[in-house]
Amino acid sequence: MNVNTHIQWTEATWNPLTGCDKVSPGCKNCYAEWLTKTRLVPAGNPRYRNGFKLTLHPDLIDLPRHWRKGKKVFVNSMSDMFHKNVPLPFTQKVFETMNACPQHVFQILTKRGDILVQHAPQLQWTPNIWMGVSVENKDYLYRLDELRQTPAHVKFVSFEPLLGPIPNANLAGIDWVIVGGESGRNFRAMDPDWARDLRDQCQAQGVKFFFKQWSGVRPKRLGRLLDGKLWEEMPK
């Protein structure tokens, strides 16, 4: 199975879950849904036999145990580990694999901070598990407060797609910030000043800053420089 990825802040993906539902404006042009409907389903990929409906893949839970070389692994790039319909025992088994693979760094993102907080005490948070939340505009900054309630050793925020300015963000307890614009034919434009402001807030509050991409149909063509610099800071 090809697990390599072009996502700039990670090295591999692992999807014991596929499929999801929209919960906030950042989901409107979901790349995972687009990829499922336009490529994976037409190609007859058996993992997407249910389309973009939430589907568990228990046979993939142990996959990272077979990777000897350490990787940064984005967990559930095609779903959300804390979707309301994912049974807690399934999540616990996924965490058991992460606990047993200290050679890897596992990066998890969710928009469902309420379920994250509910399940966090029943999960084992080894230092190689980085937990993050997605925040698309200032209306969803409360997800940072939910993230802060977890015992994750590394906490991060993905401001992608960044859909509006986020002034005066409280980044206390946050280790890492990723900023990126939306891609695809129906992208919503990101003002460069929104990204600059978050970079400046990170510098003022001692938080690592990673600039992923500009907004556009094909962001790679625009490069990744912000004010002439490549920003790829990461937690240790």
pLDDT, tens digit, 9 for 90 and up, residues 8-44: 999 999 999 999 999 999 999 999 999 999 999 999 9
Kindly state whether residues 139 and 92 are assigned to the same domain: no
At 225, list the tokens.
């420089």
List the domain range (segments joined by +) for residue 139: 135-236
Report yes or no: 180 and 216 within 8 Å, Cβ to Cβ: no
Give yes or no for a contact between 215 and 182, defined as CB atoms under 8 angstroms apart.
yes
State the average pLDDT over residues 141-149.
98
pTM, 2 dp: 0.96
Average pLDDT, the chain: 97
Other CB atoms within a 10 A radius of the CB of residue 151 amount to 12
Based on the domain organization, do 38 and 100 belong to the same domain? Answer: yes
Q: Is residue 213 part of a domain?
A: yes
What are phi and psi for residue 195, nearest 5 degrees?
-70, -40
Is pLDDT of 4 > 90?
no
Residue 1 or 190, more confident: 190
The mean pLDDT value for 125-145 works out to: 98
Region 194-218: mean pLDDT is: 97
> In the predicted model, is pLDDT for residue 1 greater than 80?
no
Residues near 143 by Cβ (< 8 Å), separated by ≥ 6? 111, 113, 133, 134, 135, 157
Note whether residue 163 is domain-resident: yes
Average of pLDDT values for 90-117?
A: 98
Domain annotation covers residue 119: no
Q: What is the mean pLDDT of residues 60-86?
A: 97
- Averaged pLDDT, 83-102: 98
Based on the fold, state whether residues 157 and 216 are members of the same structural domain.
yes
Q: Give the residue-averaged pLDDT of 177-200.
A: 97
Residue 236: the pLDDT is: 86
153 and 99, same structural domain?
no
> Same structural domain for residues 34 and 75?
yes
116 located within any domain: no
**Does 141 share its domain with 101?**
no
Helix, strand, coil shares of the chain as percentages rounded to 5? Answer: 30, 20, 50
DSSP structure class, residue 21: -
Distance CA 52, CA 64 (A): 23
In terms of domains, do 71 and 166 share one? no
- Domain contains 117: no
Looking at residue 226, what is its pLDDT? Answer: 97
| Structure confidence at residue 31 (pLDDT) | 95
Of 105, 121, 154, the one marking the end of a domain is: 105
Please tell me the total count of domains within the chain: 2
Establish if 91 belongs to a structural domain. Answer: yes
* 57 & 148 share domain: no
91 and 151 share a domain? no
83, 105, 127 - which closes a domain: 105
pLDDT of 2 higher than 60: no
Confidence of residue 3 (pLDDT cuts 50, 70, 90): confident
Q: What is the residue whose two structure tokens read 């797609």?
A: 161
**Residue 123 domain flag:** no
Q: Looking at the structure, tell me whether residues 35 and 95 fall in a common domain.
A: yes
Q: 139 and 87: one domain? A: no
Residue 86 placed within a domain: yes
DSSP 111-175: S-HHHHHHHGGGS---TTEEEEEE--SGGGTHHHHHHHTS--SEEEEEE-S--S--TT---TT--
Mean pLDDT confidence for 154-183: 98
Q: What percent of the chain has pLDDT over 90?
A: 95
Task: Examine the domain organization and report whether 143 and 90 are in the same domain.
Answer: no
